[in-house]
């Protein structure tokens, strides 16, 4: 009976993790806010884009620190603090727009929001890896699938909210949109955090026997031991390269889609600036939301596939196929609006798949015992990629797609030469 109760409890925690990640993943719709902010305040693109870069750097660093806290203080404590920070940061982002202060936007959306998001992101992953040793790929895919789907809801809802609320209570549609979502995040993220708890020590699902090819909880590497192996750094590099390419694309997804959509706009709309702005905003938001679905589905798909063919094979396939597609887009072969949307769907499916597969990859090689810190610090690759990817796509637009293809090719080489870490028992 006790084991049945724990079985039900672990799936309840998985459900709470999905709700939390849905809220956290709304940040991937940043590009739908960028143009309205630039237009309202006259901010240049690179300084405005810096907000997202600060956020991505902070979230990776926060995930590393949060993973350590999860191992020491427990998941409920860390996720609750993160939820409060993330909700408060969204409210402050609305104030930043309302008063027209870019520095405050850096502090609120970038730093405070990044801290809260990072704390919350790593917590359900570390917790579910411990609850689901029998389904590592599937459950981490389910959890971070929510993160990918978050941008779908924001990408579909936010553009309409921004237009509808313009000239309303705050005189800024962006500000009022941030205020509403800030309250939603405080309720949902903090509420979901209350369900998080680690399983009893030594607990395993009924009938489950750990595979001899993975590291058990008893033989888990500490962070100090893991970071001394070349495998930890190779996994760090693979995550960095995959995320750099993906985040660069995400940061420019709406503007790129709008450029590809312009040839499809009729003459009447082109002649009316207000109608043109609305049409382009909807076109950009549609691509953001549709590709976000595949960002989410890719996390579940690739993580589940990795349980069958292995984590290494999944990364090799994703790196090779993405590199080819980026080159085809750069050459103009995939520059039609609808074809670009399809390409974006696949690229973001691979981007999300990397995030979903890597936690299980790390747990296989280093064990679940200290996975909060071991994988948490691996997410500093996300922090570095949060600077590198958007910066390349913003500052080197003409060459950015070729650079992304080059990064992915290096990742393919790492995946090919990777060999599993030698277990502690074998040493």
* Residue 149 belongs to some domain of the structure: yes
- pLDDT at position 426: 44
pLDDT at 1 over 50: no
* Residue 358 belongs to some domain of the structure: yes
* Residue 74 belongs to some domain of the structure: yes
Q: What is the mean pLDDT of residues 54-80?
A: 88
* Residue 209 belongs to some domain of the structure: no
- The DSSP element (H or E) to which 255 belongs, if any, is helix 253-261
Phi, psi (degrees; rounded to nearest 5) at 168: -85, -140
Q: What is the pLDDT of residues 302-346, one digit of tens each?
A: 988 998 899 999 999 999 999 999 999 888 887 788 999 999 999
Question: Is residue 370 within 8 Å of residue 220, measured between CB atoms?
Answer: yes
Please compute Rg for the chain using Cα positions: 21
Q: What is the pLDDT of residues 155-206, one digit of tens each?
A: 778 888 888 766 555 556 888 899 999 999 999 999 999 999 988 887 777 7
Q: What is the mean pLDDT of residues 199-227?
A: 76
Six-digit token string for 231: 């495998």
More confident site: 119 or 372 = 119
Structural domains in the chain (count): 1
Q: What is the pLDDT of residues 99-119, one digit of tens each?
A: 999 999 999 999 999 999 999
Percent of the chain predicted with pLDDT > 90? 37
Q: Which domain holds residue 193?
A: 2-199+222-426
More confident site: 317 or 401 = 317
**CA–CA distances in Å: residue 188 to residues 77, 84, 121, 149, 420:** 15, 10, 14, 15, 39
Q: What is the pLDDT of residues 241-299, one digit of tens each?
A: 999 999 888 878 888 888 888 887 777 777 777 788 888 888 887 888 788 888 888 98
* Residue 183 belongs to some domain of the structure: yes
- pLDDT at position 168: 54
b (16+ CB within 10 A) / e for 210-222: beeebbbbeebbe
Six-digit token string for 329: 């887009």
Question: Is residue 17 within 8 Å of residue 128, measured between CB atoms?
Answer: yes
Six-digit token string for 160: 């309409």
Q: Which CATH number goes with the domain that contains 150?
A: 1.20.1250.20
* Mean per-residue pLDDT over the chain, rounded: 86
Task: Output the pTM of the full model.
Answer: 0.75
* Residue 214 belongs to some domain of the structure: no
CA max distance for the chain: 73
- pLDDT at position 358: 93
* Residue 262 belongs to some domain of the structure: yes
- pLDDT at position 171: 56
- pLDDT at position 406: 94
3-state secondary structure of 204: coil
* Residue 216 belongs to some domain of the structure: no
Six-digit token string for 77: 């404590």
């Amino acid at each position: 009976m006790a084991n049945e109760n724990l079985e039900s409890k672990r799936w309840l925690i998985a459900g709470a993790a999905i709700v939390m990640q849905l809220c956290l993943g709304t940040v991937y719709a940043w590009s739908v806010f960028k143009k309205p902010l630039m237009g309202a305040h006259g901010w240049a693109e690179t300084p405005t884009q810096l907000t997202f870069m600060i956020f991505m750097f902070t979230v990776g660093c926060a995930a590393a620190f949060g993973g350590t806290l999860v191992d020491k203080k427990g998941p409920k404590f860390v996720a609750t603090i993160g939820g409060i920070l993330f909700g408060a940061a969204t409210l402050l982002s609305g104030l930043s727009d309302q008063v027209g202060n870019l520095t405050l936007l850096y502090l609120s959306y970038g730093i405070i929001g990044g801290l809260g998001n990072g704390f919350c992101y790593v917590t359900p992953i570390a917790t579910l890896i411990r609850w689901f040793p029998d389904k590592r790929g599937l459950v981490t895919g389910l959890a971070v699938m929510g993160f990918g789907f978050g941008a779908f809801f924001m990408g579909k809802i936010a553009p309409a909210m921004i237009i509808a609320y313009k000239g309303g209570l705050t005189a800024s549609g962006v500000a009022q949109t941030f205020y509403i979502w800030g309250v939603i995040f405080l309720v949902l993220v903090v509420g979901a955090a209350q369900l998080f708890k680690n399983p009893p020590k030594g607990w395993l699902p009924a009938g489950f026997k750990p595979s001899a090819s993975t590291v058990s909880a008893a033989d888990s590497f500490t962070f100090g031991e893991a970071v001394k192996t070349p495998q930890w750094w190779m996994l760090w590099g693979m995550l960095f390269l995959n995320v750099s390419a993906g985040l660069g694309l995400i940061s420019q997804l709406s503007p790129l889609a709008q450029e590809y959509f312009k040839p499809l706009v009729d003459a009447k709309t082109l002649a009316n600036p207000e109608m043109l702005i609305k049409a382009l905003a909807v076109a950009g938001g549609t691509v953001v939301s549709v590709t976000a679905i595949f960002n989410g589905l890719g996390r579940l798909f690739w993580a589940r596939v990795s349980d069958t063919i292995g984590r290494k094979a999944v990364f090799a396939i994703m790196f090779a196929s993405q590199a080819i597609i980026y080159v085809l887009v750069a050459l103009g072969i995939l520059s039609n609006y609808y074809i670009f949307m399809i390409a974006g769907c696949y690229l973001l499916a691979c981007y999300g798949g990397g995030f979903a597969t890597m936690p299980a990859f790390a747990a296989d090689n280093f064990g679940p015992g200290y996975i909060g810190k071991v994988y948490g610090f691996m997410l500093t690759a996300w922090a570095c990629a949060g600077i590198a990817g958007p910066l390349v796509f913003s500052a080197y637009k003409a060459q950015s797609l070729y650079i992304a293809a080059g990064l992915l090719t290096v990742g393919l080489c790492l995946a090919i030469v990777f060999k599993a870490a030698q277990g502690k028992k074998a040493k």
